[in-house]
């Protein structure tokens, strides 16, 4: 079972790292370049697209949330590790693993909660045809992007939870994806 889950997780990580990471980068770059274009139009030519500000906001926020999937999959989030480092120093490695398991379980609940309750919101926005303040852009694609990001974060967190449970049992899975690759602050 571990090898089947390993293959599945490798495929998911390929999609998150290579596809979603690049899409998020392109979105951030495109949104930033369009914002610069709008600044030139406004201050040099005195005209702007009425929908330009909404477009930049939605593209950048959507890209950031899609990139959250990449950082969640890599467990490359910010961590204040003083407490866990102290526990490790005292020889409480199992306690640290148990705490990490608790964080993974809470994260799975949190992301799943947003994905579950977000689906009806996206559906309702789509059916009503709600638009942005400029009344040009539909809101449901933006909401669907956020919903997809939360659902994908829940999916990768499910693999993290499995990895943490196996570590608590003394087994190591997904050796190619370390359980702690955070950025210390």
Regarding predicted confidence, which is higher, 151 or 132?
151
Per the structure, how many domains does the chain have?
1
Tell me the mean pLDDT in the region 33-38.
Answer: 96
Task: Assess if residue 181 is contained within a domain.
Answer: no
pLDDT at 78 over 70: no
Say how far apart CA 60 and CA 53 lie, in whole Å.
11
Task: Assess if residue 180 is contained within a domain.
Answer: no
Task: Assess if residue 185 is contained within a domain.
Answer: no
Containing structural domain, residue 139: 2-173
Instruction: Determine which helix (DSSP H) or strand (DSSP E) holds 184, and give its type and residue range.
Output: strand 183-184
Task: Assess if residue 58 is contained within a domain.
Answer: yes
Per-residue confidence at 185, pLDDT binned at 50, 70, 90?
Answer: very low
Give me the chain's average pLDDT, please: 89
Pure H helices in 2-92: 2-14, 21-40, 52-74, 82-89
Say how far apart CA 116 and CA 166 lie, in whole Å.
27
pTM of the model: 0.87
Task: Assess if residue 9 is contained within a domain.
Answer: yes
Task: Assess if residue 184 is contained within a domain.
Answer: no
pLDDT at 182 over 60: no
Tokens of 160: 């993290």
Task: Assess if residue 161 is contained within a domain.
Answer: yes
Residue listed under structure tokens 């499910």: 158
Q: Give residue 76's pLDDT.
A: 79
Which is it for strands 78-79 and 183-184: parallel, antiparallel or unpaired?
A: parallel
> pLDDT of 57-72, one tens digit each?
999 999 999 999 999 9
């Amino acid at each position: 079972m571990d090898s089947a889950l390993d293959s599945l997780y490798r495929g998911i990580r390929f999609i998150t790292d290579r596809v979603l990471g690049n899409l998020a980068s392109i979105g951030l770059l495109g949104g930033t370049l369009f914002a610069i274009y709008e600044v030139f139009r406004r201050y040099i030519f005195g005209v702007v697209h009425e929908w330009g500000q909404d477009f930049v906001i939605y593209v950048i926020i959507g890209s950031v949330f899609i990139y959250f999937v990449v950082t969640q999959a890599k467990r490359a989030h910010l961590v204040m590790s003083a407490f866990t480092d102290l526990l490790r120093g005292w020889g409480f490695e199992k306690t640290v693993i148990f705490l990490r398991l608790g964080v993974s379980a809470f994260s799975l609940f949190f992301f799943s909660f947003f994905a579950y309750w977000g689906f009806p919101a996206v559906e309702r926005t789509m059916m009503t045809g709600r638009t942005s303040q400029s009344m040009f852009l539909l809101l449901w694609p933006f909401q669907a992007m956020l919903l997809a990001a939360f659902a994908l974060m829940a999916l990768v967190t499910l693999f993290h939870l499995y990895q943490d449970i196996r570590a608590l049992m003394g087994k190591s899975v997904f050796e190619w994806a370390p359980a702690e690759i955070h950025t210390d602050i």
